[in-house]
Amino acid sequence: MTGRRKPERMDLADAAEALAGARRLVVFTGAGMSAESGVPTFRDALTGLWERFDPQALATPEAFRADPALVWGWYEWRRAAVGRAEPNPGHRAVAALAARVPDTVVVTQNVDDLHERAGSAATVHLHGSLLTPRCSACAEPAPAPGAGAEPGEGRRLEPPRCGHCAAPVRPGVVWFGEALPEPAFAAAVEAAYRCDVLLTVGTSGLVYPAAEIPQVAARRGGTVIQVNPEETPLDAVCAVNLHGPAARVLPALVRAAWGDPAGA
């Protein structure tokens, strides 16, 4: 017998009331949040010369060992694209939420720094960051390349060498087949376990174990609010499903909860 689907209440006022009363808030974001700033999602088709490659084939330890210059070049192209993007009103609204609810933890699956640039401090990055490369052998942190290092589309770029062991430096992201960073995942689970409201934004709910985070909050009795243009597997565990873009819905939530234009 299948479980009964939880009824939806697609009501901005309900979500705003829950947020205004939150004491411990988690904001959990996925690729859809950054896509609204022009950052392609990982499932988007590649463009230009990169159309020759499958992103899921490039994002593996095996691909880096086989052709480090190809993989490093692709990630540097991605990092440069993220650097040209700007936080959108959704990112700024998340920072405004954190200002209103001091015990707020922002957990993201994105590997960019758009939350930080919008004003969200100490963001938990479940999938690492394009801005934190590290040695592929000893895991020693390495400085991000400076300006002028970006390759053209589809171009190879030799990775720098580790200053400690001379092994190639790799992107500081989680690749397919790798475990999430344990401290980040533990912090996200703990925050979800103790929160009274979790706001999930722009995530498909398909990528595990990250997709488990909203479900942890729901099982503990937290109010889960989802903002996404499309239906997702998380709809069934959410108390409120708001179908729309984060850049429009999140500022509206801030205004409805506190009558505050911040994030608009």
pLDDT over 90 percentage in the chain: 72
Q: Average pLDDT of the chain?
A: 88
Look up the CATH architecture of domain 1-38+87-129+179-264.
3-Layer(aba) Sandwich (3.40)
Neighbours of 147 (CB within 10 A): 7
> Over 50: is that where the pLDDT of 244 sits?
yes
Binding residues: 75, 78, 109-112, 135, 138, 162, 165, 202-204, 228-230, 246
CA 53 vs CA 49, 79, 150: distances in Å: 8, 17, 18
Q: Where does the chain hold its CATH 3.40.50.1220 domain(s)? A: 1-38+87-129+179-264
The C-alpha atoms of residue 250 and residue 255 are separated, in whole angstroms, by: 9
pLDDT single digits (tens) 13-61:
999 999 999 999 999 999 999 999 988 776 655 555 456 677 778 899 9
Angstrom distance (rounded) from CA 246 to CA 251: 8
Task: Please identify, in words, the CATH class of the domain defined by 40-84+134-170.
Answer: alpha beta
Say if residue 257's pLDDT is above 90.
Answer: yes
List, as residue ranges, the binding site for Zn(2+): 135, 138, 162, 165
Assess whether the previous peptide bond of 143 is cis (omega < 30° from 0).
Answer: no
127: annotated active-site residue = yes
Q: Tell me, what's the pLDDT at 8?
A: 43
Phi, psi of 171, deg, nearest 5: -60, 150
| Residue list, annotated binding site for NAD(+) | 109-112, 202-204, 228-230, 246
Q: What average pLDDT does range 94-112 have in this prediction?
A: 96
Select which of 91, 115, 125, 127 is catalytic: 127
Per DSSP, the residues of 114-181 read HHHHHT--S-EETTB-TT--EETTT--B-PPP-TT-PPPTT---PPPB-TTT-PBEE-SBPPTT-PPP
pLDDT at res. 212:
95
* Each residue's pLDDT tens digit, 194-224: 999 999 999 988 888 999 999 999 999 999 9
**Judging by beta carbons within 10 Å of its beta carbon (0-12, 13-18, 19+), is residue 197 exposed, middle or buried?**
buried
Q: Note the pTM of the prediction, 2 decimals.
A: 0.90
Residue 176 to residue 71: CA distance in whole angstroms: 13
Where does CATH 3.30.1600.10 sit in the chain? 40-84+134-170
Q: What's the token pair of residue 74?
A: 């692709």
